[in-house]
Structure 1
Amino acid sequence: MTTPDPLEFAVFNEIGIIDQLATHAFSEALPRGMTPAQFSILNHFVRLGKRQESPARLASAFQVSRPTMSTTLARLERAGHVEISPDPDDGRGKLVRITERGRAMREECVMRLSEPLREVRAAIRPELFEQLRPLLAEMREKLDRMRD
């Protein structure tokens, strides 16, 4: 086994720390009972314009186990944010779709996140966001292709 390239390790270490800090800030801003994982699922449907998705595909997209995804989806379903129904094309499968209540919750979450994001924006110069956005998008796209 070889040691990782120091620059590559440092970049991913920084991304990991940023993820931890952002997840904590998001957790604090979200409505009571809404977790970052639950918000991410609602956001996934809205951001990608997804009408419906199987729990297995969601688990794969979020890189979590199927039981973990099932637990998260069950909580969202109990809150009325998603509907889970049998897949008409697969007798054993299920399909998840976001509800209007789920869309409204996603919008509330986005509104609540505006204050922490405004604080970050005030602390970091705008040029840095402009530089990072395309670089991070490129990195995400390449890493996403690598996992398929």
Structure 2
Amino acid sequence: MTDTKAAGSDTLAVSLFSEIFMADQLARNRLSKVLPKGMELSHFSVLNHLASLQDPKTPAQLAQTFSLTKGAMTNTLSRLEWAGHIHVTPDWNDARRKQVTISPAGRSARDAAVAAIAPVISEIVTTIGQDKVRASLPVLRELRLRLAQED
């Protein structure tokens, strides 16, 4: 590859990630403002993930899923447990581990959060156009999967 092509590729990559980082920051700020009182985006993310699962997860599995340290995940889980949104129970097959499941109150809190953020994200998708958003999903999904391979 020539230096000119390499420089163009580098510029494209930097532009792509700059847009992703800025969109992420703006989305987090916008959604944080409309979440139910007391709920943080990290709480919603964990509740949303747990709501989609059939089986319990360990704190370590959740930390890995969200690319967080075990300590950071423990902090989030402690707050969710205190609020009654999750159940943390012993793993009866391995007493050294714990299992995390969403509680009925957690499902209600997650549903309230979805109801609060849905109009915001729906408006953005409508403004951009569903076809454009649909077309961007395969690229974003592949980007996510390739980044996950590095961990």
TM more than 0.5: yes
For residue 36 of structure 1, what is the amino acid of its counterpart? L
How much has 1:78 moved relative to structure 2?
Answer: 0.8
After the TM superposition, list the runs of 4 or more consecutive aligned residues in structure 1 that deviate by more than 4 angstroms: none
Q: Distance in 1 between matches of 2:51 and 2:86?
A: 12
| Unaligned 5+ runs, structure 2 | 1-6
Q: Residue type matched to 1:26 in 2?
A: L
Q: Distance in 1 between matches of 2:134 and 2:25?
A: 22
Tell me the CA shift for residue 13 of structure 1.
Answer: 1.3
SS across alignment from 1:51: coil
Tell me the CA shift for residue 51 of structure 1: 2.4
Percentage of pairs with the same residue: 35
Q: Which of the residues 104, 110, 115 maps onto 1:106? A: 110
The alignment's C-alpha RMSD in Å is 1.6
Q: How does 1:1-148 map to 2 (within 5 A)?
A: 5-47=10-52, 49-147=53-151
Q: Indicate if the aligned counterparts of 1:51 and 1:98 stay in contact, CA closer than 8 A.
A: no
Query: 2:29 is matched by which residue type in structure 1?
Result: H
Q: In structure 2, give the amino acid aligned to 1:125.
A: G
Q: Which runs of 5 or more residues in structure 1 are unaligned?
A: none
State the Cα distance separating 1:124 from its structure 2 match.
1.1
Per-residue deviation, 1:110: 0.7
Higher Rg: 2
Whichever residue aligns with residue 69 of structure 1, its letter is: M
Report which stretch shifted further, 101-110 or 118-127: 118-127
Q: Deviations over 1:61-112 (max 9, x none)?
A: 1111111111110110011110111111222211111111111111111111
Q: Which amino acid aligns with 1:19?
A: D
Q: Is the contact between residue 26 and residue 36 of structure 1 (CA under 8 Å) also seen in structure 2? A: yes
Task: Give the whole-Å Cα distance in 1 for the aligned partners of 2:36 and 2:59.
Answer: 24
Separation (CA, whole Å) in 2 of partners of 1:46 and 1:98 = 6
Rounded to whole Å, the distance in 1 between the matches of 2:25 and 2:142 is 21
